[in-house]
Amino acid sequence: MRLLAEVTGRSQSFFLKQLIEKGIDAMEDTWLPREVIAQVRSGNLPAQQHGTTLDLFDNSICDR
């Protein structure tokens, strides 16, 4: 990211933000059913699934 920032004049934070945003889109496309993707992108988010956790570092949900 340092090289990208130096060559383009943009900040490393800009590229980190791009990486996160585009990576999330790729994960949604890979893992979510098309119907859910359409709901998310139209702003009609589905209700939170029962039994999910908000803890990003809880590995128990990753194993499902």
pLDDT tens profile 13-56? 999 999 998 888 888 889 989 998 898 889 888 677 666 666 76
Q: Is the pLDDT of residue 63 over 70?
A: no
Would you say 52 and 61 are in contact if contact means Cβ atoms under 8 Å apart?
Answer: yes
To 10 degrees, the CA torsion angle through 18, 24, 26, 31? 180
Instruction: Identify which has the larger pLDDT, 2 or 55.
Output: 2
If you search the block for the tokens 């119907």, which residue do you land on? 35
Rounded to two decimals, the pTM is 0.50
Six-digit token string for 47: 């209700």
Terminal CA-to-CA distance of the chain, rounded, Å?
A: 33
Six-digit token string for 6: 């130096």
